[in-house]
């Protein structure tokens, strides 16, 4: 079978695919690792049965599909395929694979780390210690909270949300889950509740819902007002899910804290001591990119062996995903 890379810029292929992964890939398909398309055109596209896509790949629309008459599979080396696979892709019977499950792993790991640190008030105590050059009193440290018996609210039973709930299992933490698409949380290590109850009961609230018109400001002023004093809000999903003005006001008043890996930070948000800002690092970076590529290679191996895709995208539910 013929395959071709589609990344923009082309240098991304080397970041994702180690020489060993390229070697494994070439055992299953004919592919030139030096040939990376940035647009859907040319004889290589016309011959391709598999597109291995990644960051920067353009939308596969009607015009692109007309230039790819032999295309049968799209194997995407990242999460969402909303910006790559048009409805025409599925209508033509082309199968699409997404590595959202692999990308969920580092996001869930990041979130777990932030939950554990937030419950210990690590940033607040570190800042006090650094600024005063004196250790806080023993009583202050003892009052820091801790993790045993605390409650974590998870918004969204997405791939990330589910992975996080799995990672929480070894800890003495009680998990609440809000997801309007679920009738039960059986097997998910969580108590299914409505959003207001989750906001009011949780010591840490973490957002893992998709960006949809109906999820804009899912956590708005009313929801933030329900948060417990000293609680922490974590957002690794999309900025639009949180009313940033309302959150900024609550953090400014010292009532809540925030960990934001996705935000539209202004000068005040950068300066607020109750906010930890990270520059969109929760998702796959560095060696974690190799995990995405390895999953993609495994999918290509499935195709070559005539096996079903392990991470096939369901077009019927794709519009509900991040």
- 3 forms beta bridges with 50
Catalytic residue among 63, 216, 280, 319: 280
Strands (E), 23-149: 36-37, 50-53, 73-76, 95-98
CA angle 144, 148, 150 (to 5 degrees): 80
**Separation CA 300–CA 285 (nearest Å):** 22
| CA 16 – CA 301 distance, rounded (Å) | 17
Q: Is 238 a catalytic site residue?
A: yes
Catalytic residue among 30, 41, 264, 268: 264
169 part of the active site: no
CA distance 160 to 163: 5
The catalytic residue among 76, 238, 257, 299 is: 238
Residue 203: helix, strand or coil by DSSP? coil
| Beta pairing partners, 192 | 177
Instruction: Determine whether 280 is an active site residue.
Output: yes
Positions marked catalytic: 238, 264, 280
């Amino acid at each position: 079978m013929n395959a071709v890379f589609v990344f923009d810029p082309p240098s991304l292929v080397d970041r994702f695919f180690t020489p060993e992964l390229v070697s494994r890939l070439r055992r299953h398909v004919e592919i030139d690792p030096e040939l990376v398309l940035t647009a859907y055109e040319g004889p290589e596209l016309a011959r391709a049965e598999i597109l291995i896509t990644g960051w920067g790949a353009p939308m596969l629309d009607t015009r692109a599909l007309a230039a790819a008459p032999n295309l049968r599979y799209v194997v995407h080396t990242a999460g969402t395929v909303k910006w790559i696979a048009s409805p025409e892709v599925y209508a033509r019977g082309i199968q699409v694979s997404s590595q959202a499950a692999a990308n969920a792993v580092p996001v869930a790991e990041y979130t777990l780390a932030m939950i554990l640190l937030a419950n210990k008030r690590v940033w607040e105590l570190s800042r006090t210690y650094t600024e005063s050059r004196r250790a806080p009193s023993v009583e202050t440290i003892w009052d820091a909270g801790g993790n045993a018996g605390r409650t974590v609210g998870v918004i969204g039973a997405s791939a990330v949300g589910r992975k996080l709930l799995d990672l929480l299992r070894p800890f003495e933490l009680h998990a609440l889950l809000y997801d309007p698409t679920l009738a039960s949380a059986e097997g998910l290590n969580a108590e299914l509740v409505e959003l207001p109850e989750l906001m009011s009961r949780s010591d840490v609230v973490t957002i893992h819902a998709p960006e949809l018109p109906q999820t804009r400001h899912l956590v708005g002023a009313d929801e933030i007002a329900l948060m417990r004093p000293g609680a922490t809000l974590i957002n690794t999903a999309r900025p639009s899910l949180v009313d940033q003005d309302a959150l900024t006001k609550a953090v400014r008043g010292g009532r809540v804290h925030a960990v934001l890996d996705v935000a539209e930070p202004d000068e005040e948000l950068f300066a607020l001591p109750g906010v930890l800002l990270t520059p969109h690092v929760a998702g796959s970076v560095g060696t974690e990119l190799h995990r995405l590529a390895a999953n993609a290679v495994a999918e290509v191996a499935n195709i070559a062996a005539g096996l079903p895709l392990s991470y096939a995208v369901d077009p019927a539910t794709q519009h509900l995903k991040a």
